[in-house]
Amino acid sequence: MTLRRIYLVAGELSGDILGAGLMRELKKRHPGVEFRGVGGPRMLAEGLHGCFALETLSVMGLVEVVKHLPALWRVRRTLTADAQAFQPDVMLGIDAPDFNLGLERRLRDSGITTAHYVSPSVWAWRRGRVKGIARSVDAMLTLLPFEADFYREHRVPVAFVGHPLADEMPLANDRAGARGALGLAPEALTLAVLPGSRASEIRFLGATFLAAAERLCRRFASLQVVIPAATPARREELESLLETLPAGSPARGRVTLVDGESRQAMVAADAVLLASGTAALEAMLCHRAMLVAYKMAPATHWLAKRLVKTPWISLPNLIARETLVPELIQNAATPEAISDTLGAVLGDADERAALEARFARLHAELRRGASARAADAVESLAAGQSVEKDLEESPHD
């Protein structure tokens, strides 16, 4: 069949990237297809007729939510009417679940086929939301395999399309080249330290991570440490932390602070110390041994312990369904525990090599051609076919 009209609603820049990739793939297959909805600069460049600026939903989704609710409801009503008038073959919400799932439900109730691209973390907390998701979408498109397993268990049609980061990042990486680009010694044992991109993460983790790195420098005479600063503000904070090192500290002169370059720093490393989040997935896709540590406000941690229903917090462990990456959370994340655990990893080259090989296999499993497989799923939905059957036969693996 030929797709004529697709309605897309992305709520943030990450969704704009996914939407643009999907649009490019659909245009190759259906040259006359029209796109309408909400997107950012990449989707607009691919030909989306935008009804609202991307920032409309980004701001409403993240800042002063209650204050903006009346405007948010007006936007949702406007998009509902606009999509109903457009009569798309498929309406696809991209991430932004708080906004998109409500829109998808209204459109599905009116007879429009709907899908959602990027699963909310329903598998981790507030699992009862899956009932609402089942009423809102004809299919869920997930980036990660364990997410697809969750939806199958709850009888929600689902397509695991793979992760765009896995498509983007090479299956082989150049450790020596990365060290050269960052000005690091080519043969020295190397630790990358990524305390996070938010000020709160530096506040909770920065001093702990630096103290752990200093202990490791005492243990390994040749260890060099590279710390990427996510932003100029984070660099200032990290520089202030480095100034607190005692004059005789073995870490002085062995810590290299770089601007950005977090992926390059991970490729250069023998092991990575990082905060939980997407950085852990990137470290896995760089095929590097790592330790994940995280601290938060005590009240937040108390609440999270009662709401989160998964045995792990890091994506590598969630994807593998086993503990490949040590996780030290809250009071367990001490400089002593971090340095002892990482020291065992840095001192065992065979263990690191085995872990790198395992991560390379997981990388290959996630490298599915996400945009092509998402396009397969959209075509199947438009044709009234099963998205899972279509992907089983897909040539994009």
Average pLDDT of span 36-41: 94
Distance from C-alpha of 262 to C-alpha of 265, rounded to nearest angstrom: 5
Average pLDDT of span 326-351: 94
**Each residue's pLDDT tens digit, 254-290:** 999 999 899 999 999 999 999 877 889 999 999 999 9
Burial call 74-101: b when 16+ CB within 10 Å, e when fewer: ebbeebbebbbebebbbbbbbbbbebbb
Q: 300 is written with which tokens?
A: 């937040």
Cα dihedral 320/322/323/325 (nearest 10)? 0
Q: Residue 190: count other Cβ atoms within 10 Å of its Cβ.
A: 25
Residue 212 identity (one-letter amino acid): A
Contacts for 87 with CB less than 8 Å, ≥ 6 apart: 5, 112
Distance from C-alpha of 38 to C-alpha of 200, rounded to nearest angstrom: 31
Q: Is residue 62 pLDDT above 50, yes or no?
A: no
**Each residue's pLDDT tens digit, 314-330:** 889 999 989 999 999 88
The residue among 383, 393, 369 whose CA lies nearest residue 166 is 369
Burial call 59-69: b when 16+ CB within 10 Å, e when fewer: bbbeeeeeebe
Cα dihedral 276/279/283/285 (nearest 10)? 120
pLDDT at 226: 97
Bin 64: left if φ > 0, else alpha if -120 < ψ < 50, else beta.
Answer: left
Sign of the CA dihedral with 383 first, then 94, 322, and 213 last: positive
The residue among 93, 92, 91, 86 whose CA lies nearest residue 61 is 93
Residue 303 confidence class, pLDDT cut points 50, 70, 90: low
List, as one string, the DSSP characters of 220-275.
-TT-EEEEEESSHHHHHHHHHHHHTS-TT-TTTTTEEEEES-HHHHHHH-SEEEEE
Residue 52 confidence class, pLDDT cut points 50, 70, 90: confident
Bin 155: left if φ > 0, else alpha if -120 < ψ < 50, else beta.
Answer: left
CA angle 191, 229, 209 (to 5 degrees): 45
Residue 125 confidence class, pLDDT cut points 50, 70, 90: low
Question: Do residues 234 and 202 lie in contact, with contact meaning Cβ atoms separated by under 8 Å?
Answer: yes
Report which DSSP code applies to 124: T
Question: Do residues 270 and 191 lie in contact, with contact meaning Cβ atoms separated by under 8 Å?
Answer: yes
pLDDT at 28: 97
Residue 59 identity (one-letter amino acid): V
Q: Residue 24: count other Cβ atoms within 10 Å of its Cβ.
A: 16
Percent of the chain with pLDDT over 70: 89
Q: Is residue 55 pLDDT above 80, yes or no?
A: no
Sign of the CA dihedral with 322 first, then 323, 325, and 330 last: positive
Question: Do residues 316 and 362 lie in contact, with contact meaning Cβ atoms separated by under 8 Å?
Answer: yes
Identify the weakest region by mean pLDDT among 2-16, 68-82, 85-99. 68-82
Residue 37: its H or E element: strand 34-39
Q: 151 is written with which tokens?
A: 């939806």
Contacts for 218 with CB less than 8 Å, ≥ 6 apart: 250
Bin 172: left if φ > 0, else alpha if -120 < ψ < 50, else beta.
Answer: beta
Burial (CB count <10 Å: 0-12, 13-18, 19+), residue 163: buried
Q: 319 is written with which tokens?
A: 């994807």
